[in-house]
Amino acid sequence: MRERAPYRLLIALLAGVLLATGGSIAHADGDGPILGGVEDDNGTPGVEVTDPGGSTGTDGGNQPVYSVPGPYWKYHYTPACSVNGPPPNSADALCLGATSTCAQEQEGPATVLRFFVYRMRMNADGTPAGGGDGTWESMGTQCRGPNDPPEGGPEVITVADIRAAVEGVVPVPSVAVEPAGGTYVNVPTNFVSEGSDQTTTVQVLGVAVQVQFTATDTRWSFGDGSSGTGNGIRNAAVGQAGAVEHDYRRAGTYTVTVTRTYSVTFSLPDGQSSSMEGFTRTSPGLALPVGEVQSLVTEVD
């Protein structure tokens, strides 16, 4: 849900500012500055405020997907003019004091304005923490442009936050060899990496997020330049379908590794779920001794 705040402009003064700077006006409430052109329900330039109460889409790594329940600060910005103040009594008028006291530090034609800044403590459900209509606290003035980061609003979890938490718990595959302890030249050797699909829970900004790992690709390096694919089957028969099998041509000690790629599905407390790709882990190397069976003649008749 989004609420809008009115932003009335002194048209003649604004025209003069825009002609002088070649710019546009920015104004913000809660989320940070929004470029002029956003209109409220009355058709006047306005601003947008994000309220808590649910999650939004997962498009893009920095997109919010969940609003963390808890109190937060709501901010209101109005041009730093004597007739302006906190809601609901601000005229939201523009004046030279707002347009001429900030350095034009933004790139391009956008205008940096000086704003009165007010804030109010909000409950997780979007109601004022002090009850009633709430009380706005003055935070002085601040110069802001359309590229300034947002302030206030509920704490949100983004896809990037979840990815960062997931990176720390991606399962590392293991290597098992049959026969265990070593093998011999030209003997089919069975390779297994179990535990390809796993489910766990990660904490993201204090919120429990369920994560399921599903293997999408498993690749072996047998240490002699050969490779294979698949998870393998424990106690597989020679030539069994789905088994990962390899025989070595020369004696020696070979380092065997397996690399697994996962897709990740995460589930949030509000019931929504989505998926991410690009998680890969490689097992520690296993030193596999490969011997050679030779016949030995001890006596000739």
Q: Per-residue pLDDT tens for 194-204? A: 888 999 999 99
Per-residue pLDDT tens over the stretch 35-76:
222 222 322 222 222 222 333 333 356 777 888 888 889 899
pLDDT at 3: 34
Per-residue pLDDT at 117 exceeds 70: yes
3-state SS string over the chain?
A: CEEEEECCCCHHHHHHHHHHHCCCCEEECCCCEEEECEECCCCCEEEEEECCCCCCCCCCCCCEEEECCCCEEEEEEEECCCCCCCCCCCCCCCCHHHHCCCCCCCCCCCCCEEEEEEEEEECCCCCECCCCCCCCEEEEEEEECCCCCCCCCCCEEEHHHHHHHHHCCCCCCCCEEECCCCEECCCCEEEECCCCCEEEEEEECCEEEEEEEEEEEEEEECCCCCEEECCCCCCCCCCCCCCEEECCCCCEEEEEEEEEEEEEEEECCCCCEEEEEEEEEECCCEEEEEECCCCCCCCCC
What pLDDT does residue 18 have? 33
Query: Which has the higher per-residue pLDDT, 276 or 48?
Result: 276
Domain with CATH 2.60.40.10 in the chain: 171-291
Statement: residue 119 has pLDDT above 90: yes
User: pTM, whole model, 2 decimals?
Assistant: 0.61
Q: Which pLDDT score, from 0 to 100, does residue 109 have?
A: 59
Mean pLDDT to the nearest integer, 288-299: 79
State the average pLDDT over residues 136-156: 87
Pick the CATH number of 171-291 from 3.40.50.880, 1.10.10.10, 2.60.40.10, 3.20.190.10: 2.60.40.10
